[in-house]
Amino acid sequence: MLFRTWQRLSSVVLGLVSAPAAMADWELNMPQGITEVSQSIYELHMLIFWICVWIGVVVFGVMFYSIFKHRKSKGAVASKFHESLTLEILWTALPTVILIAMAVPATTVLIQMYDTTNSDVDIKITGYQWKWEYNYLGEDVGFFSNLTTPEDEIYNLAEKNENYLLEVDKHVVVPTGQKVRFLITSNDVIHAWWVPEIAVKKDAIPGYINESWAFIPEGEEGIYRGQCAELCGVNHGFMPIVLEAVTGDEYQVWLEEQRAGKIAEAQAALGDFSYDELMVKGADVYARSCAACHGGEGQGLGSVFPALAGSDIALNDMAAHIDIVLNGKPGTAMQAYATQLSDVDMAAVITFERNAWGNDTGETVTPKMITDAKK
């Protein structure tokens, strides 16, 4: 570890004095990304960086020259000059020219970034505390995307995997070679949707729909990871984004699969589930969708998020329990899960909550009860 640290430190030094390209290898620098826009941004970044470096070399050069040469211990006698209009004009005018030279390419790139017209695919992204919802407009495909890193890895009880904190249950899939427009909003507080490799970062604000776009060229298929970039509450650090770029054909197949999956889900709700099946499934759904606030053991969190273990709602009125999970509790952080979870998942998690952690009601909530409650 220490060796790696030293390796990186020395590469910093080397990178700074040799070539800018050397720096990217060690993740010291902004990623160049995979889109035209992200590469333009990277170039702007490097341009302004080198301008700063050169100004710094000149200014600090003069300063350190004075520090070494014009010191009293070397017998330097202070001269008395203290004004020069020529110099003042020069060092006002020169930076102005440099800034204008910088503003021109920056303006061009910004105009390009704001051009969200003529998109091929439109995806509405909604931020929730603390997950993302994706809706593919006009495709009848939509889903929630939750963190899947197990709590044991976060609390150092298990070894952390390679994509620690940057892994989710459902990827947002986009086609390459097509212009994808993102429509970004929020259901509660402000979030920000950010994937560095495509240089898209936009705030998700309740009441607003912000636009952004990306054109991932063919040949750049792959998985790209990002995170929420605006403080959105206790689990701000735990709502990553996983973007999967696939070819146009694969994208069509994926859309079909999603639609088929939805139908299968609806049919599954009509089937029978045993108590044991629901408990196993419920534990899984709970860990993904509920544990962030209500605690891994149903113990709640602080004074804002109530415990479920031994709580009135989980032990008594079942209809009220189903209602609060379906419709949420207005004015609080408790969201409506009616659209987030399938009827089977909903039945499973409510069954789980009514029987786990000593809540031994022995009651089973069936998917059909959920379907009925929705009517």
Partner 1 sequence: MTTATASHDNHDDHGHHGPAKGIMRWVLTTNHKDIGTMYLWFSLTMLFIGGTMALIIRSELFQPGMQLIEPEFFNQMTTMHGLIMVFGAIMPAFVGLANWMVPLMIGAPDMALPRMNNWSFWILPFAFGMLLFTLFTEAGAPNFGWTFYAPLSTTYAPSSVTYFIFGVHMMGISSIMGAINIIVTILNLRAPGMTLMKMPLFVWTWFITAYLLVAVMPVLAGVVTMMLMDIHYGTAFFDAAGGGDPVLFQHVFWFFGHPEVYIMILPAFGIVSQIIPTFARKPLFGYASMVYATSSIAFLSFIVWAHHMFTVGLPLQTELFFMYATMLIAIPTGVKVFNWVSTMFRGSMTFETPMLFALAFVVLFTIGGFSGLMLSIAPADFQYHDTYFVVAHFHYVLVPGALFGIIAGVYYWLPKWTGHYINENLGKFHFWMSFIGVNVTFFPMHFIGLAGMPRRIPDYALQFADFNAIATVGAFIFGFSQLIFLFVLIKTIRGGEKATDQVWEGAEGLEWTIPSPAPYHTFAEPPHVK
User: For 208, phi and psi rounded to 5 degrees?
Assistant: -120, 150
Taking the complex as a whole, the smallest distance from the CB of residue 275 to partner 1 amounts, in Å, to: 34
- Closest to partner 1 by CB, 18 vs 316, is 18
22 binds partner 1, rule: CB under 8 A: no
List the interface residues with partner 1, window 295-314 (CB under 8 A).
301-304
Instruction: Single out the residue of 13, 104, 118, 155 in contact with partner 1 (rule: CB under 8 A).
Output: 155
- Rounded Cα gap, residues 54 and 366, in angstroms: 69
- Closest to partner 1 by CB, 102 vs 338, is 102
Taking the complex as a whole, the smallest distance from the CB of residue 335 to partner 1 amounts, in Å, to: 12
59 binds partner 1, rule: CB under 8 A: yes
Taking the complex as a whole, the smallest distance from the CB of residue 149 to partner 1 amounts, in Å, to: 9
Contacts with partner 1 by CB under 8 A: the residue count is: 103
Q: Kindly give, in sequence order, each residue whose CB lies less than 8 Å from that of residue 131, ignoring residues fewer than 6 positions away.
A: 144, 145, 146, 147, 239, 289
- Rounded Cα gap, residues 67 and 123, in angstroms: 58
114 binds partner 1, rule: CB under 8 A: yes
Nearest to 180 by CA among 120, 240, 258: 120
Taking the complex as a whole, the smallest distance from the CB of residue 70 to partner 1 amounts, in Å, to: 5
14 binds partner 1, rule: CB under 8 A: no
Taking the complex as a whole, the smallest distance from the CB of residue 72 to partner 1 amounts, in Å, to: 5
- Closest to partner 1 by CB, 155 vs 319, is 155
Instruction: Single out the residue of 22, 36, 106, 300 in contact with partner 1 (rule: CB under 8 A).
Output: 106
Determine contact, residues 23/32, Cβ cutoff 8 Å: no
Q: Kindly give, in sequence order, each residue whose CB lies less than 8 Å from that of residue 191, ignoring residues fewer than 6 positions away.
A: 127, 203, 204, 228, 230, 232, 239
Determine contact, residues 166/107, Cβ cutoff 8 Å: no
Across 132-153, b (16+ Cβ under 10 Å) vs e yields bbbbbeeeebbbbbbbbbeeee
Beta sheet of 179-186, edge-to-edge order: 141-145, 131-136, 121-128, 179-186, 210-215
**236 residue type, one letter:** H
Taking the complex as a whole, the smallest distance from the CB of residue 144 to partner 1 amounts, in Å, to: 20
Tokens read off for 210: 């912000």
- Closest to partner 1 by CB, 29 vs 371, is 29
User: For 150, phi and psi rounded to 5 degrees?
Assistant: -65, 150
Q: State how beta strands 241-246 and 222-228 pair.
A: antiparallel
Contact map string, positions 210 to 249, toward partner 1, x by CB under 8 A: xx-------------xxxxxxxxxxxxxx-----------
List the interface residues with partner 1, window 173-202 (CB under 8 A).
188-190, 192, 194, 196, 199-202
Give the binding range for partner 1 (CB under 8 A) out of 27-35, 118-126, 168-176, 313-321: 27-35
Instruction: Single out the residue of 22, 137, 205, 318 in contact with partner 1 (rule: CB under 8 A).
Output: 205
Instruction: Single out the residue of 20, 120, 208, 252 in contact with partner 1 (rule: CB under 8 A).
Output: 208
List the interface residues with partner 1, window 315-374 (CB under 8 A).
331, 333
